[in-house]
Chains A and B, each alone.
Chain A
Amino acid sequence: MEEIAGNELAIDKREQAMLELADFDEVVRVYRPRILRFLLSSLTDRDAAESLTQECFLKAWSARHQFRGDSSLSTWLTRIAVNLMRDHLRSRSLRFWQKTRGSSLDVMDISDWVPDGRSSPESLTVARDRVAAVWRAVESLSAQQRAVFVLRFVEEMELDEIAGTIGMNLSTVKSHLYRALAIIRERMGGAK
């Protein structure tokens, strides 16, 4: 009985996912900002993030029939983005001589960001300094640490969801996150 209920649930999830995927323009509209944000935070390169976001949705479109609804659509898309990012970083490391920093984001990009509820110039400066310190610390993380960190603290994903998305076990995710936080904490302590 439980098995039948489980099967029906799986079929429902699959049908739901197929229904969601049927309107792909809507899928792009809903999930594009999130994928772009993840890639931008991880790569800190505008052009690369933009290009990989496009590629992510193209891949998703081509592979939409393979999506079984085992995970949420968001997780599935993020998984594609993580794989694309991995390939990108791998190819970039081969082209280490190629400095394409023209489209890279830097600390100055947060200059027009105004944190909520802070009106005094002093609190504004403190907030921006803190963000800049985290920014620099995140840049020093390894690709895996950064991906885990961004998924947890920018995308606010649960640890088991991150594990499923990146294809690591839970303890490895925890380990990467622990190291990432230790580095950031240390850097921030040094920045004070």
Chain B
Amino acid sequence: MKFRRDTGAESDTTREEVREMAEALSLYRSAMRHIAEKEAARSRVAEPRPGRSIRFGMLLAPALTAVVAAAVLVPVYSHLHHPTSAPGVVVKTSQAGPADTRANVDDTVLMNQIDSELSEDVPDALRPLADLGNQTTNASSVSEKKNVTQE
């Protein structure tokens, strides 16, 4: 009988310990959730700082900007550095060969896509380059005319 009573007391103690432990764990869970919510709120407030937040929808913006810049700069650059090519080759795509035509069409489609996605015009900062390109084109066409006359 004594043995039984001891076992019962022991099991009561164990049960009480387990109950206390379960309660402590539940309290710990609540506390951790509270702290995590507080931290999440704190970091949400801090998000406007550069480099802290990640807007995944914005990840494509730099890439698209680079494509726009490349699409505008490459023709301007090639125009400036190949003055002997036919005048207006950049503007008048119909004068180029079949492969170039296809490339230009692809570029146009791409530009339209990018335009519609970004809703942005060609950067204003590139306009002076375009004007410079026109002047170079005029100058080269004048010199070509001179050459033809001399021949």
Mark A residues whose CB is within 8 Å of B.
24-25, 28, 32-33, 36-37, 40-41, 46, 49-50, 54, 57-58, 61, 105, 109-110, 113, 115-116, 127, 130-131, 133-135, 138, 153-154, 156, 181, 184-185, 188-189
Contacts and interface: CB of A to CB of B under 8 A. Distances in A.
B38 to A, nearest CB: 8
Contacts of B33: 37, 154
A61 B36 CA distance: 23
The prevalent SS among residues of A at the interface is helix
23 contacts: A25-B56, A33-B40, A36-B36, A40-B32, A40-B36, A50-B39, A50-B43, A57-B54, A61-B59, A110-B31, A113-B30, A113-B31, A113-B34, A115-B31, A116-B30, A131-B24, A131-B27, A153-B25, A154-B28, A154-B29, A185-B17, A188-B20, A189-B17
B56 A24 contact: yes
Interface residues of B, number: 26
A61 B33 CA distance: 26
Interface of B: 17, 20-21, 23-25, 27-37, 39-40, 43, 52, 54-57, 59
Nearest to A155: B29
Contacts of B30: 113, 115-116
In the A-B complex, the 4 residue pairs with the closest CB atoms: A37-B36, A134-B28, A130-B24, A24-B56
B37 A33 contact: yes
Given A33-B36, A49-B39, A131-B31, 20 more contacts: A32-B40, A40-B32, A40-B36, A40-B39, A41-B36, A54-B54, A110-B34, A115-B27, A116-B30, A127-B27, A131-B24, A131-B27, A134-B24, A134-B25, A135-B28, A135-B31, A138-B28, A153-B25, A153-B29, A154-B33
A110 B39 contact: no
Nearest to B25: A153
Contacts of A134: 24-25, 27-28
Contacts of A156: 29
A154 to B, nearest CB: 5
B35 A105 contact: yes
Contacts of A116: 30
A58 B54 contact: yes
Contacts of B23: 130
A109 B35 contact: yes
A26 to B, nearest CB: 10
Contacts of B54: 28, 54, 57-58
A86 B34 CA distance: 25
A75 B32 CA distance: 20
Contacts of A49: 39
A138 B29 CA distance: 12
